[in-house]
Structure 1
Amino acid sequence: MALDFQQIYTKIHEIGATARQRRERLESLRREARALFRQTAQDVDALRDKVESAKAVDPAIRCALPLKEALDTHHPTPGLPLNATLIAADGSQINPDRHGAVQYGLVNVGAIVLQPGSGQTPQTFTDSQLLYDDELYTAEGNPLTDGMVALKRDLDERRKLDELSAQYPAPVITFTDGPIELWGAKDGQDAAFSQSLETYKTVLSRLQTNGVTTAGYVDKPAADLVVRLLELMKLGDLSQVENLRAQHPFRGVSDRWLFGEKGNPLLEPGERSAVFQLQAKSEKDYRGLLALHFFYLNVGTHGHPWPVRVEIPRWVADDPEKLDALHAVLIEQCRVMGAKPYPYLLHRAHETAVVKHEEKNQVEQMLLMEIRRAGEETDDGSFKQSAKDLSGRGRFGQ
């Protein structure tokens, strides 16, 4: 038996025994957060001043920065844009595995193009890039980590949107799954990330120059950016707060709850929130028209709210026509999926991009056969991997 279920059951029993206390505490925090939200909703200047005060204490503080709209602003679904081309992209990867018989990586990007009302069926595209030999190392000679391969995947997704959007007349609306913000090493010391970031910003700039609307769709968002803003308001004089980043008086209260409380959602089905700027350490990397913004969007139904976060660059946030078109398209795309709202084109892009287990095995066999045919030395899989394969067991994250 791999697990000691008696130990686990004991812990689960303890969790159950304290459930009522946690529920009462969370309900109290939610009431307080909701009251503070209502109290400060219209005072945008005070909210902005508080964020500036927080930045003076901790420049890397991460929260929502209001623009001009009140916190409780909500916009109904606008009409669908005419003759818009919709493009979605998603990616998957195979990470280098030191236990494998051959060292390689793979990034696979799937994209789909839809021209509503044209009578044409959606077009799908796939870009598959095999990484081998020197491509498995950074310029400094360090092996590619799983995070670096994921970074390349994110960059290639946006590149594909740029490539395809240039082939269609305006208006063009593009989106990917996940944030627009490029994730990776943020200390400025990783040359590979810095180079990828510069390339990524160049791609974003081309999209902006071409008038393309682009967005990142974050389903079931975990970041509590608006709640963090409320926490800053509650903390009072921030210059007197020790270790500001660790102070979370509303811990457990989420943006998802705030905008989508069952029975009392701030956003009705199809509505979006005000647009906020993202205050974060990465602000210095995304300047001007590339500055990162976001809004919340309720893609659910009456009785079943489902707020998602939509990230956009400033050139979209500043353009009411682009903003309305994106809003309407995302609601329409989610309705296609019925009771489990998610943009249909992103779902299709994921299906196109995903690498199945049998495809992975086929790539490995093809690569091994070619290497051996060319007379190059090959390796064996590790005995650890052989033992795992023999037992039919595996472990997550290894």
Structure 2
Amino acid sequence: MSLDLSKLAKELSASSSEILKSPLDSSQVIHSLISIAENIEHAASIISTGYSNTRPYLKAEVVEQLLTKHPLPSMPSSWNVVSADGSHIDIDRHLPVPCSLINMGVCKLTYGETPLSELYNEPTLKINERDLCITNPSNNNEVELLTGQLLSLERAIIEIGTLKEAVADIKNNLPTLALVDGSLILWGLSGQAYKTYVREHFIEHGLLHHMDGIKKIADNFPLSLAAYISFPRTTEVINSIRASICEKSSDYCGEHCNSRRTNETPCSLANNLLDRDLFEIYLSAGERSPIYRSQSSIPHLYYGKHQIYFFYINTGQEIGRVEIPKWVAENPQLLNLSHSLIFDQCKRGQGYPVAISESHEQAVLNGKDRELFKNLVLQFMQRPGIRALTSQKERSKRSPWL
């Protein structure tokens, strides 16, 4: 039976008065917060935003300034932008054999004197136990099935690996931006009780291995690695300002405040604000914020020389968050390359990086693709000599009787 839209409309209508409540105009509050933040001494903000887990919120570590703006830098005359994105089909327990599919889409664009584009995708089937599971190298009886959140993490690692392979094929040695959608922080591992071998599979042997490879390629020509997050809901910069103006100890804050709000002044100026709320007012089109260092526990504990930094950029259409590894953040040429080329990509893509959009189109698996994949697996399992069993629930879905 299809979705009953009339019932849903009644639910929405009943809730609309609460949903559509307009909060008081926050622009005046944000301007006050900006004025305060711009007058905080740099040394004091560094101390206030140093790594600490006693406050009830995640804050960013100040690197350049707590709050300042950087104009759009000049662009190279010719350049490359390379992006990789992925989509996947998870294990279906109703199929006769456990299997999953990860499809990688790649977009390689060259701009300038000799423009060029290359689009392709690479599907990877996981059907053997060695591909479907993470095995503890110290005990091969200890395995973790790659499904659900773990399969999403696996896809993220393969995206970075595919990006590394794509930039390794570049022959023109032009300045290049290697770009992925989403975060360079493996948030799916945060707060989880995964065993060490699982974490090492994704971080040390996965993400960091590929980032090492990209950094090595960057020795040959200007190459920046960045991740773009559209419409971010993060609050790390707001929380850094909050920590910098807080008149109480971090222990007091931990006992009396929460991650989004406080009753204490002047910190309450930051209540319920997002970073993008601040930078929508503070940044003009093309400008970026200072760079900040992430204090997420995952990179802080495990990323080593690839610590994650980030900045916000006004693309002209939205405030985007850009994450970069330490070696990009500390290289002014690569930092400016990231800034200028991401703005250009968003301008060409009507607010969103064109290379990411194109790689996504190559990777996306729609409903028809998913059904074709399922049918292909079922057809293969019907070959002579293969014993194929499927659930009665699956048969029922394929043969409705009413």
Structural mapping, 1:236-385, within 5 Å? 236=247, 237-243=249-255, 246-249=258-261, 250-260=270-280, 265-282=281-298, 283-288=300-305, 290-300=306-316, 305-338=317-350, 341-383=351-393
When residues 389 and 370 of structure 1 are mapped into structure 2, their CA distance, relative to the original with a 3 A threshold, is closer
Relative to structure 1, is the Cα distance of residues 56 and 256 closer, same or farther in structure 2, using a 3 angstrom cutoff? closer
Match of 1:165 in 2: 167
| Aligned residues: CA RMSD | 2.7
Unaligned runs of 5+ in 2: 136-141, 262-269
Give CA-to-partner distance per residue, 1:165-219, whole Å, 9 cap, x none: 1222253210000011123223463332331111210111121122131000000
- Once the two structures are aligned, what percentage of the paired residues are identical? 23
User: Normalising to structure 1: TM-score of the pair?
Assistant: 0.84
With normalisation by structure 2, the TM-score equals 0.84
Question: Is the 2:203–2:303 Cα contact (8 Å) retained in structure 1?
Answer: no
Deviates more, 1:310-319 or 1:235-244: 235-244
1:4 to partner: Cα distance: 6.8
Superposition map of 1:123-272 within 5 A:
123-134=118-129, 135-139=131-135, 140-168=142-170, 169-186=173-190, 187=192, 189-190=194-195, 191-198=197-204, 199-211=206-218, 212-236=223-247, 237-243=249-255, 246-249=258-261, 250-260=270-280, 265-272=281-288
- Letter of the 1:380 partner, please give it: T
Quote how far apart the aligned CAs of 1:310 are.
0.3
Instruction: Flag structure 1 segments of 5+ consecutive residues without an equivalent.
Output: 393-398
- Partner in structure 1 of residue 46 of structure 2: 48
For residues 142-174 of structure 1, the C-alpha deviation after alignment (integer angstroms, 9 at most, x for no partner) is: 433211111111111111111121222253210
Q: 1:309 Cα shift?
A: 0.3
Aligned partners of 2:282 and 2:49: how far apart in 1?
23
Cα distance between partner residues in 2 of 1:14 and 1:311: 35
Q: Distance in 1 between matches of 2:11 and 2:360?
A: 39
Q: Report the Cα distance in structure 2 between the residues aligned to 1:272 and 1:226, rounded to whole angstroms.
A: 13
1:50–1:374 CA distance, 2 compared to 1 (3 A)? farther
Contact 1:78 1:328 (C-alpha < 8 Å) held by counterparts:
yes
Q: SS of 1:372's equivalent?
A: coil
AA aligned opposite 1:108: N
- In 1, Cα distance between the equivalents of 2:288 and 2:216? 26
Q: Cα 1:175–1:386, aligned 2, differ >3 Å: closer, same or farther?
A: same
Question: 1:131 Cα shift?
Answer: 1.1
Could you tell me which of 108, 113, 119 is aligned with 1:113?
108
Note the C-alpha offset of 1:50.
Answer: 1.3
Q: Is the partner of 1:272 in helix, strand or coil?
A: coil
Given the alignment, which residue of 10, 14, 17 partners 2:14?
A: 10
* Separation in 2, partners of 1:111, 1:77: 27
**d(CA) in 2 for partners of 1:165 and 1:361?**
33
- 3-state SS of 1:252 partner: coil
Q: Residue by residue, what CA displacement relative to the aligned partner does 1:22-41 show, whole Å, maximum 9, x if unpaired? A: x13xx46x644542332132
Structure 1 residue 64: deviation in Å? 1.5
In the alignment, is the contact (CA less than 8 A) between 2:57 and 2:239 conserved in 1?
no
Tell me the matched-pair count: 371
**Structure 1 Cα separation of the partners of residues 393 and 277 of structure 2:** 48
Distance 1:14 1:115 in 2: 49
